[in-house]
Amino acid sequence: MDRIVADGGQGGAFASISEAINAAVSGDRIIIYPKTNGGSYRENLTISSKSLQLLSATEGEMWKLHGTITFTAGVAGQELVIHQANLLNGSIQTSAAAPTGTRSRVVVTGCQLDNGNISFNFNNWDLNIAGNTLLQGGIYFRFGKVVGNTVIVAACAHGIVCSAGESGSDDFVYIVGNRVIMDTASGCWPYDWTGIYYNSNSHFAYVTNNFIHVRSLYQIALRLESSKTSSVKANKIENNSILQEGGAYNSTFRVVAHGSPTDLYNNSIVATVSAYGFYSDQMSINDRWGYNYTNIAAGSNAYINVLNDGTNLFNQSITMNSTTGDVTAGAPVNGGSPDNAYLDLDLTRNDADCFGGSYSRANFTQNPTGAVTTFLIAPRRVLSGGTISITAEGYDR
């Protein structure tokens, strides 16, 4: 059933979102009319033990909320969908793990959060966070997909964080096609504030096609802290663009302890200040480095403890767009892996930046409206006579 919310309760609608939530039963949709003159609903929303959808009544126009949305699942497999919401000063969050069994899902698409986080750093949640903008916030989770978001990170904080805690599986956690802009605040020492921070030994990491802009000291763009210990799959850290403008006492791109093979291909770092580039804490033979590029002049600063097969180059002249992360000139253009599994969307050789390969950021630059596919998982190569397995996630109101 649809529960309608409108300013002042006009036309017999609910006057507040909370009233509609209280009246709803699991499976209902809450259809919210944006208030006139840009007004906001001033309330904190608590959703407990119900599967609901909170949707804008006007496609392409956000409904505004001055408050926080807290979701708690009562049984396994419950779901919350939030579409085209603008939270002016609040977060979308949970305060507890979901019940064991089928993971409870949270789908957030086409939203904007001002001074708030999306935070589900508890077990048994499956997140699909796609096409959102967070201004002075971050995304914290343990399982799911975080794709195509813009995250303007708050001062002295991380941008996108995947943490440990769940029982393990052989699934990937996907962090793909995001734009993460670090804060310019200084004085955050000694913390290693990180744009994308993967620290989970429960699942494999799939971190590709992100643009990370570092703008202050003591910041790391991308950090693989840990991963599942297994040889079933390889972690994928590929086709990321990093613009380093803050100066770094730490490395810009850091691989710490992890227990599974890791492919680190087709990444580019452009530093406008003195900085360290690609760094591996353990020089593991399980780390496969290839076709990475940086303009950092000294090889000893560009690649530290990296097993270089000769395709990882430093002291390169690289032009990177400071807004999009697109490399428009230099060795990374058509300089990624020549393996046809990495071909660009136009079927030319891989560009070693966030617009290279089939998960190019070009797929994620439009906010989702109407019926959309937010993410598609398909094989990069299919052998003759083989089986094609395709999985898609999407949304249709």
| Percent of the chain residues past pLDDT 90, beyond the cut | 64
Amino acid at 245: E
Taking only Cα atoms into account, the Rg of the chain, rounded to an integer number of angstroms, comes to 21
Confidence bin at 284 (pLDDT 50/70/90): low
Q: For residue 5, how many other CB atoms are within 10 A of its CB?
A: 23
Query: What average pLDDT does the chain have?
Result: 90
| Beta carbons of 276 and 300 less than 8 angstroms apart | no
Output the CA torsion 270→271→275→279 (10° steps).
Answer: -10
Strand partners, 198: 162, 224
Residue 130 CA to residue 364 CA, distance in Å, equals: 8
Output the CA torsion 236→170→121→99 (10° steps).
Answer: 160
Which whole-number Å values give the CA distances from 182 to 195, 229, 288, 365, 395, in the listed order? 6, 30, 28, 19, 30
Please name the helix (run of DSSP H) or strand (run of DSSP E) that holds residue 332, with its range, or none.
Answer: none
Tokens of 70: 């807290």
Q: Is the pLDDT of residue 50 over 80?
A: yes
Whole-number pLDDT of residue 370: 66
Place of tokens 């428009």: 328
Q: Is the pLDDT of residue 114 over 70?
A: yes
Whole-number pLDDT of residue 344: 95
